[in-house]
Amino acid sequence: MAHGLPAATICARCPLEPNMLAIKRHGAVLHLTLDRPERHNAFNEHLIAALTQALEQASQDPGLRALVLAGNGRSFSAGADLDWMARLARASEADNLGDAQALATLMRTLDSLPLPTIAAVQGAAYGGGVGLAACCDIVIASDDARFALSEVRLGLLPAVISPYVIAAIGPRQARRWFATGQAFDAQRALAIGLVHEVVPADGLAAAVDAQLQLLLQAAPQACSAAKQLVAAVINETDPARLDAHNAALIARLRAGAEGREGLAAFLDKRPANWVQPA
């Protein structure tokens, strides 16, 4: 996938259990790929730990400008691994609580990552796979993608992922899909707000690349602040505090080096210094 970025690439594998998470960096873009295709990229405690660690490291890297989350093979992620679920069924409530908290940490870390994230979804996205997509800022699905929140059919609930799924699709839609466990296709996911774009399967990489090109034209600090702005507007209940926050935010950006460079570039009719070459 071409990003107009330097060709240097770093490849790594999950140190906790081989061949679970592929990590590649192309310039300022980090690609995290769930790499258990034989298990439809279902996750267990090891993949949860590896993905959380990779995200935490990404959050501390000032050279990154975007992150792409994908799945290797036919599926994005089929949710929880069956063997892992079987172990949890035999485990104590305390052990189950620990695993649930680890998954919650993963979702929170992805959702609050201080750089824009793109989920590239193909094939199955079930349960926690839906949660991963909902935590990303931009979701592009292939037309063969299928989604399901089928936990109720197992006597369970999508509890840990619920804040992010509800934020994506709204409470009205969540009531239906949480309660029925019914699977739905990519067009339905688009209609309810879970995904932003549906493309042919052979066009998924190009669609992701197009979004990356847009993100790499945006000012890095402003792009990160945009995520914080959305969170502040949603979570702040006091209008006066919200107004004060927003005024201070735009004042800081205008007076900062990035804001001044952006305005100068606009007036000079030239690309800003953060724009990656095509």
- Residue 1 inside a domain? The answer is no
For residues 45 and 140, membership in a common domain is answered with yes
Per-residue confidence (pLDDT) for residue 24, from 0 to 100: 98
Dihedral of the CA atoms 273, 208, 164, 34 (nearest 10)?
-110
Domain housing 247: 220-268
Q: Tokens 């990356």 label which residue?
A: 212
For residues 240 and 174, membership in a common domain is answered with no
For residues 179 and 74, membership in a common domain is answered with yes
- Residue 127 inside a domain? The answer is yes
For residues 18 and 143, membership in a common domain is answered with yes
Tell me how crowded residue 11 is: count the other CB atoms within 10 A of its CB: 9
For residues 230 and 199, membership in a common domain is answered with no
Task: Inform me whether the pLDDT recorded for 2 exceeds 80.
Answer: no
pLDDT in tens, 127-165: 999 999 999 999 999 999 999 999 999 999 999 999 999
CATH number of the domain where residue 58 is located = 3.90.226.10
Number of domains the chain is built from? 2
Task: Inform me whether the pLDDT recorded for 183 exceeds 50.
Answer: yes
For residues 62 and 177, membership in a common domain is answered with yes
pLDDT in tens, 225-278: 999 999 999 999 999 999 999 999 999 999 999 999 999 999 999 999 999 754
Q: Which residues pair with 21 in a beta bridge?
A: 34
- Residue 38 inside a domain? The answer is yes
For residues 208 and 225, membership in a common domain is answered with no
For residues 159 and 232, membership in a common domain is answered with no
Which pLDDT band holds residue 18 (cuts at 50, 70, 90)? Answer: low
Per-residue confidence (pLDDT) for residue 5, from 0 to 100: 31
pLDDT in tens, 84-94: 989 989 999 99
